Amino acid sequence: MSEAGRVYLEGVAGDGSIARRNRDDWDRWSIVPRVLRQVGPADARSEVLGILSSAPVWVAPVAAQGLGHPEAEVAVARAARAAGLPIVLSQAASRDAEDVAAAAGVYLQQIYLPEHRPAIEPFLDRVVAAGAAGVVLTVDQPASPHVHPFRLAAAAARPLVSPRRPPLPEGTPPAGALHVADIAWLAARTGLPVLVKGVLHPDDARAAVEAGAAGVVVSNHGGRQIGGSITSARALPAVAAAVAARAAVLTDSGIDDADDVFRAVALGADAVLIGRPVVRALWDGGEDAAAALLAELRDEFAHSLQLAGYEDVAALRRAGRGALRALDGPEQKEER
């Protein structure tokens, strides 16, 4: 893969420390196994908004995967299907939504709403026709004059794929200012459940759900927006407490192994999204490596469930934070 591709994929905002904090804040929750419970092989399957998957793991929308692999998101869709997991396709993907939907098991479409809403309507029609199970409205990347240098790296790198049918007409500014009313508009326009991605404050989660969101994704965009941002691991419990009874709660940013999936579920998530690890695997080892990574995540999660004494995802959800212990430290007290 090109150096520019690597810079683009790994980039974060600020001084770079958010990449470490995103991972470490999951790790500071220790799993406390329960034993003598007669738990056989665990059932790792999950159902979120009627979407079935072999584990509570979805593939995150990551733009421009054609910078490192010719089949890009189509290869990832096949890998996800092989592992029994859904894929959320980026609006700025390298491949057409129709091709990804055909290769995927379950496909959802991520959306950035342009200032001029009608510009995206033909694409929304394509998404519905392609059989999307839901739309994921990303709200943490409004139009901004500031473009981080790592995003410019993508422009410098040459994609390996052939041209696609763009979601927006040539020259449309990519994202506009958003309002809660956009959620109901998108739901009505597509007839699909809308998940709002990039929520970190419980009041915003409440507002999104009251405005018609079927779910929220607790995410700091993999640390790519605000370098000093709160991490998902810290934001998730309060967001889940605010809306989990009424809406689906997903999370991402810094989740890189099955124990992190376990921690996220115990902290209130119905499922997690995995971003960079999948793309790294695709770019370094191809579709087989991406498929192996996802299958391993699924199997290791089932294994962690069993070893920790939970027969299925619902049992872990019921145990909640009781399945974990925060590592000691003054800053952790507030969460206990």
222 touches ligand FNR (CB under 6 A): yes
Structure tokens at 314: 């619902």
Tell me which residue has its CB nearest to ligand FNR.
275
Closer CB to ligand FNR, 12 or 315, in the complex: 12
| One-letter amino acid of 324 | L
CA-closest candidate to residue 266, choices 33, 91, 65, 68? 33
Residues 243-282 that bind ligand FNR (CB under 6 A): 252-255, 274-276
Nearest approach, Cβ of 142 to ligand FNR (angstroms)? 12
Report if residue 18 touches ligand FNR, rule: CB under 6 A: no
b or e along 239-259 (b: 16 or more beta carbons within 10 Å of the residue's beta carbon)?
A: bbebbbeebbbbbbbbbbbbb
Which of 94, 138, 229, 251 touches ligand FNR by CB under 6 A? 138
Per-residue binding letters, 309-328, with ligand FNR (x by CB under 6 A): --------------------
Q: What's the closest the beta carbon of residue 134 comes to ligand FNR, in angstroms?
A: 13
- Least distance between ligand FNR and beta carbon 224 (Å): 6
Amino acid of residue 131: G
Per the structure block, which two tokens stand in for 273? 């999204």
Length of the chain: 336
| Residue ranges in 71-130 that form contacts with ligand FNR under rule CB under 6 A | 90, 92, 110
- Residue 159's contacts (CB-CB under 8 Å, 6 or more residues apart) are 64, 66, 67, 94
Which residue, 103 or 217, is less far from ligand FNR as judged by CB?
217
Q: What is the longest distance spanned by two Cα atoms in the chain?
A: 62
* Binding track, positions 44-63, relative to ligand FNR; x by CB under 6 A: ----------------xxxx
Helix (H, G, I), strand (E, B) or coil at 160: coil
Tell me the catalytic residues. 221
CB of 320 to ligand FNR, least distance (A): 23
Of 28, 78, 221, 317, the one binding ligand FNR by CB under 6 A: 221
How far apart are alpha carbons 322 and 70 in whole angstroms? 45
Contact by Cβ (8 Å): 232, 60: no
Q: Which is nearer to ligand FNR, 20 or 116 (CB)?
A: 20
- To ligand FNR, the closest distance from the beta carbon of 3 in angstroms equals 15
Q: Shortest approach of ligand FNR to residue 336 CB, angstroms?
A: 25
Burial of 82 (0-12, 13-18, 19+ CB in 10 A): middle
Least distance between ligand FNR and beta carbon 321 (Å): 22
Q: Which stretch binds ligand FNR (CB under 6 A): 166-174, 214-222, 239-247, 318-326?
A: 214-222
**Strand-pair category, 324-326 with 29-31:** antiparallel
Cβ proximity to ligand FNR: between 88 and 103 the closer is 88
Strand partners, 195: 136, 215
Residues 156-195 interacting with ligand FNR (rule: CB under 6 A)? none
Query: Residue holding tokens 């500031």?
Result: 146
Q: Which of 21, 95, 197, 206: binder of ligand FNR (CB under 6 A)?
A: 197
Token duo for residue 256: 């890189």
Identify whether the C-beta of residue 274 lies closer than 8 Å to the C-beta of residue 252. yes
Q: CB-wise, 54 or 251, nearer to ligand FNR? A: 251
Radius of gyration of the chain (CA): 19
Residues at the site binding ligand FNR, with contacts judged by CB under 6 A: 8-9, 22, 60-63, 90, 92, 110, 138, 197, 219, 221-222, 224, 252-255, 274-276
